[in-house]
Structure 1
Amino acid sequence: MSPKAEAIRISKVLYAVLGEDRFPVDVRSAVIELSAQMYPNEPIKDIKPVPLDSFEGMLAKSPKGDKWIIGLNENMDSLGRIRFTIAHEFGHYLLHRQRQDNFNCTHEDMHTWDSQVRAIEAEADTFASYLLMPFDDYRKQIDGQKLSIDLLRHCADRYGVSLTAAALKWREIAPGRVIVVAAKDGFLDWSCSNERAFRSGAFFATTKQTIEVPAKSLLNNAIRSPNGQTGTIQASHWLAREHPDVDLEEHAFVIEGKDYSYTLGVLVLPDLANRSLDDEDELLSPLNGQISFR
């Protein structure tokens, strides 16, 4: 099954047992209980802390082949990131365990030259996103509302994920062309376009070149604010291919943590006429740079 379909299948089980009041998903219990019910001959028996900074999460099969263990770097200081990592490894278990016996997942996995590794990491991320933030429920939360930090915080709190993960999910559902970026010291650290934006050429290849934030962008001077900041800028300042008369809307949120800080930016461009996508296309949204769900 596709990552989206598998996540929907699990969500239906959780809904049948817990009802609508099932958020945030108790992902630790779900992983243990569901794997035992679905695959009793090779369940996930435990989720253990592994104090190694070289990876965020791992999934390993026992030497006897009768169980699996999830290893988790619990030094991560974001609970949302930990939850996403557990769901990511559960995705590997459901989707990929027939391919290999060990999965060691780091930020760099999405950017390896091995296309097979890159593909399964993207699938595990898609599964985790749809498990923790089901499409239908997320759509209800944002229906008819303009993007704001309050809206993203509501979604982040409801699903127990980071503000960044909530923004990346909003990018998938929002109409039009949307790019989510992270900026540090005047340059893009990573970017993520939805499919509508990508197909129109609105994306940043941050893995291939250093991309400077435009001088007039509010991301350059974003300050920590409970409401974030919103403004408009000529789209061609960001994307040379855009028409000079086209403006894009910028939303900037300062993300701070113990060992990291960056400005999360959401760039909203006008949609192009006569451009349609089906739901499956949204799963193909390109990821550029070392995306963090913190």
Structure 2
Amino acid sequence: MNTQAFAVPNVSIDNNPRVRSFQERIAALAERCLRLEIETWPKPGLVSHVDTGSHTDMDADMFRRSASVLRPYFAEMVDAGMHDESMSVLRKIGLRAERAMLHATGGVNTHRGAIFGIGLLCAAAGFREAGHADSQTPLGVHVSRRWGREIVAGPRLPDSHGEMAGSRYGAGGARQEAAQGFHCVYQIGLPALRAVARLAPGNAEAARVQACFALIAVLEDTNLLHRGGLDGLRFAQQAAREFLNHGGVGHEEWLCRAEAIHNAFVERRLSPGGAADLLAMSLFVNELDVGVLP
């Protein structure tokens, strides 16, 4: 990873006087990024403020409730990182966050992947803020260096769709992505967000759509593997690549083309949930490691 490209600027995370501590400010940013992800359309097969995509058991309001209830647990993650806690402590906070999410959604998994990914990045933000490591190093590097081994060696969730798909198809999934420092976030998501300054200047939602498609194009998304097998994954990746190869959101008819791909995913009941989580994570680190939030 080219860490020089992501030197950390002096940015104001949240100027709201009611949000006082560093932990609360980072947690507020985490919630905002989850909300920005749901306020993005079209995202192929995914729930948004426009429709429910390939899902019949969840909608945008459910995602908003989930994001809101997770905020205090993200603050706990930041605090744990500031105190240099182990992965086992972070995991306990994550499990409590997951129970709160399920209570808020009536048992529907809206943000399990985001609890894991953004939770680790929150912990890394606290770890860095407390001076445990170089303040100019990206959050993903801190996650990999401080908790990477524990992430790989940690307990499995055999009943999770991601673990089952990963075992069947050999995909690394969220665990591998985190242990390696969130390569897809820094090498795919962030460059795509910034590229839109050239392709569609001033269109924040288009930037998020571009990043989502870029992530789908390369990610071995275990959610896609679970729903569509290898054929579903390859279809999704190829559709995303064709969208990008024809100009992405820089194409004059990009919105119609993106909506057509979205509808094709819905017809096949495909949902790239891993890409949605990584989009929210990309927005999060784009604010903290670069200083710009589309």
Normalised by the size of structure 1, how large is the TM-score?
0.30
TM (normalized to structure 2)?
A: 0.30
Larger fraction in helix: 2
Q: Which has the higher strand share?
A: 1
